[in-house]
Chain A
Amino acid sequence: DGGITQSPKYLFRKEGQNVTLSCEQNLNHDAMYWYRQDPGQGLRLIYYSQIVNDFQKGDIAEGYSVSREKKESFPLTVTSAQKNPTAFYLCASSIRGATGNTIYFGEGSWLTVV
């Protein structure tokens, strides 16, 4: 079945550690995104990529890094520079519409700092 797969679903990070969240899609979508959601809050865009080997910062990119070496994959690294990383992380992908991108989400990854 086509879809967006995120792993792991739950992840615990120690202070000072870098962790990487995986995102793979087999929908043949060009664009991929990472959002962060804090409890009771909306979605905030971290990074996005419209095409392989290219990506742009979103609204809250500090402390995060990404790569887009393959169309299907868009991993997110949460670095030690991100001081408050505990959140629900959502990967998404989209096809490009005539007037905007329709975004579809993976199941999400919960990151907790211990």
Chain B
Amino acid sequence: QKEVEQNSGPLSVPEGAIASLNCTYSDRVSQSFFWYRQYSGKSPELIMSIYSNGDKEDGRFTAQLNKASQYVSLLIRDSQPSDSATYLCAVNRGGSYIPTFGRGTSLIVHP
């Protein structure tokens, strides 16, 4: 089992809809979770971090963490075409402070 798994997609949603991106991880002792957005040909940029179970909201983005089920998700409300990108999930390795990245989910928001 890979340490951090994401569906590669593409996930296609209409403009204005909610996009839901999911990530599962294998290491139960992981404590820090991150979502990055990467446009084609560009470097990843941090969207959000989450450390505690539950929801964390920042503008149109909501991160959800469930440590018991070992998944973290990212919701994007009112999706815009400019949200079209690859979204990377990162989880810190148990016993280490170094995050491990998933392969990313490609999101396409169509007008």
Contacts and interface: CB of A to CB of B under 8 A. Distances in A.
Interface of A: 31, 33, 35, 40-43, 45, 48, 90, 96-97, 99-108
B105 to A, nearest CB: 11
Interface string B69-96: 0000000000000000000101010000
Nearest to A35: B101
A41 B49 contact: no
Contacts of A102: 32, 34, 46, 49
24 contacts: A31-B97, A33-B98, A40-B8, A40-B103, A42-B102, A42-B103, A42-B104, A90-B44, A96-B97, A97-B32, A99-B31, A99-B32, A99-B92, A100-B31, A100-B51, A101-B32, A101-B92, A101-B97, A101-B98, A102-B34, A102-B46, A103-B90, A105-B43, A108-B42
B92 A105 contact: no
A100 B72 CA distance: 16
A42 B101 contact: yes
Interface of A is mostly: strand
Contacts, number: 53
B57 interface: no
Contacts of B102: 42
B84 to A, nearest CB: 16
Contacts of B8: 40
